[in-house]
Amino acid sequence: MKKWFALSAIAQDHPGIVADLAELIYECDCNLEESSMSALGSEFAVLLLFSGQSTDLERRLSSACKRLEWEKRVTVFLRPLEGEPSHYRPDERVSRYELHATGVDKAGIVARVARCLADHRINITEMHTHSRPEPGSGTAIYTMQIHMDVPTSVGLVAFQERLEHIADELHIHIDLVPSSQ
């Protein structure tokens, strides 16, 4: 019977992390189904979805993950899934949008925007953020890009007004545009 697993891992960024994880999955007779990986500062983060059918699979994977943690100093979290994962399907009709926010870096930007989205039952499907010094002044500028599914029942005018209120309070700029995806 096919078993499914989610694995997250983080380590100080260096060559070989992806190879080590891919080999672990392969050596346990599993197939990598989906992945998302990114350098975050000096760390490298990995999310993997994979499947396998061999006997005693969870024990073998757990042992291999512990070995990787010990030998390579990669922090690994392995989670068996209950059955085949299904892709997110919203309960109602949605429209895809992108939100772009930019401003001087300060605490609370992600928290305030994410809470606004959650309050409107908007699902974040992908999010990227980073802070970079502005050329010349060195001021840290924060950018956030969110791909999201907005239920058609959400009143866009009221939603955009709330985003504008957040932008004004935080002194940032927020754009909401229909997604091309």
Which pLDDT score, from 0 to 100, does residue 180 have? Answer: 81
Out of 80, 108, 128, pick the residue that ends a domain.
80
Same domain flag for 65 and 114 = no
Same domain flag for 64 and 100 = no
Q: Which of 21, 30, 115, 136 has the alpha carbon at shortest distance from 71?
A: 21
Residue-range definition of the domain harbouring residue 19 = 3-80
**Structure tokens, 1:** 């019977």
C-alpha distances out from residue 55 to 1, 72, 105, Å: 9, 26, 50
In this structure, is residue 89 part of a structural domain? no
Same domain flag for 68 and 28 = yes
The total number of structural domains that make up the chain: 2
In this structure, is residue 157 part of a structural domain? yes
In this structure, is residue 152 part of a structural domain? yes
Same domain flag for 109 and 157 = yes
Same domain flag for 55 and 108 = no
Distance separating alpha carbons of residues 117 and 110, to the nearest angstrom: 10
Q: Under DSSP, is residue 21 helix (H, G, I), strand (E, B) or coil?
A: helix
In this structure, is residue 156 part of a structural domain? yes
174 phi/psi in degrees, rounded to 5: -125, 130
Out of 57, 80, 103, pick the residue that ends a domain.
80
pLDDT in tens, the chain (181 residues): 899 999 999 999 999 999 999 999 999 999 999 999 999 999 999 999 999 998 899 999 999 999 999 999 999 999 999 988 877 666 668 999 999 999 999 999 999 999 999 999 999 999 999 999 999 999 999 999 999 999 999 999 999 999 999 999 999 999 999 998 6
| pLDDT tens column, 11-46 | 999 999 999 999 999 999 999 999 999 999 999 999
169 phi/psi in degrees, rounded to 5: -65, -40
Helices marked H in the chain: 17-27, 57-72, 109-119, 156-170
Give the domain CATH number at 145: 3.30.70.260
Instruction: Supply the DSSP string of 69-103, one letter for each residue.
Output: HHHH--EEEEEE-SSS------SS-EEEEEEEEEE
Residue type, 122: I
